[in-house]
Structure 1
Amino acid sequence: MKTLMTIAFLSFITITTSAVATQLPTSTPSVTVTSFKSFKIHRQGKGVTLSWQPATADVQEFVIERSYDGEFFETVCSVGCNGTSIHRFTDENVFPGYIHYRITAVNADGTSEASPVQMIRIVQRK
């Protein structure tokens, strides 16, 4: 019975390898970001300050998200839009390590667009 399971497993590996070998990965841009003129982050005191400027005044709110692994993001807060001026938010709840931030602009018509991800390294201060 052990031999039969091994043969079935090897057959599965062969099929998977063949499928992967014949398909080349392709890269396509997911979103063209036009909602932001700028987006920057920097360390300020014990927190991280985000500053950004929307390209248009059509944005209703901004959703600020944070990730410690660059893959899974959590919402930190939502802030309203005050035109095309520069917006700022300071995240005071940060831990040492690499932190990734992104901002999603939610337009009045319900559509949304995410900023590029920005990363900062926080070193524990003594």
Structure 2
Amino acid sequence: MKCHRSSALRLAMVATLTGLLTAGCVHSERLAVITEAVISPDERTVSVTFTGDRIDGKVCTAVDDTEVTETAQRVTIGIHLANVCEGSPTELVAGTGVEQTVQIHLTAPLGDRVVEMPDGQSITIRRP
């Protein structure tokens, strides 16, 4: 009987560990469409604006994760969104989106690098 409990406990621990490991690697399915990007004077911080969703006056999108890839020629910025409201997207009312902003920190000044979204769509950078 003792072996049975030990095996069951070991199996439960493996299942829990597997769930925790895979949960950290999963992004939300929805990428934000970036509508504006403003670079800071030191060219290391990009303030990225996107349109989130609203249901009944409540902001229903939150940044789930950000992903930034930098090379010598380009910076790719992905903003992963999560739905934080109960209800379905069909309850969204057209034209009731809300602008949301997140700051992205670069490892090197932007300089002349091209900025784009993960799908290759160009992002225009506004300089103050």
Same fold (TM > 0.5): no
Category of TM-score, reference length = shorter chain? 0.3 to 0.5
TM-score calculated relative to the size of structure 2: 0.36
TM-score by length of 1: 0.36
Bigger relative CO (Cα 8 Å, ≥ 6 apart): 2
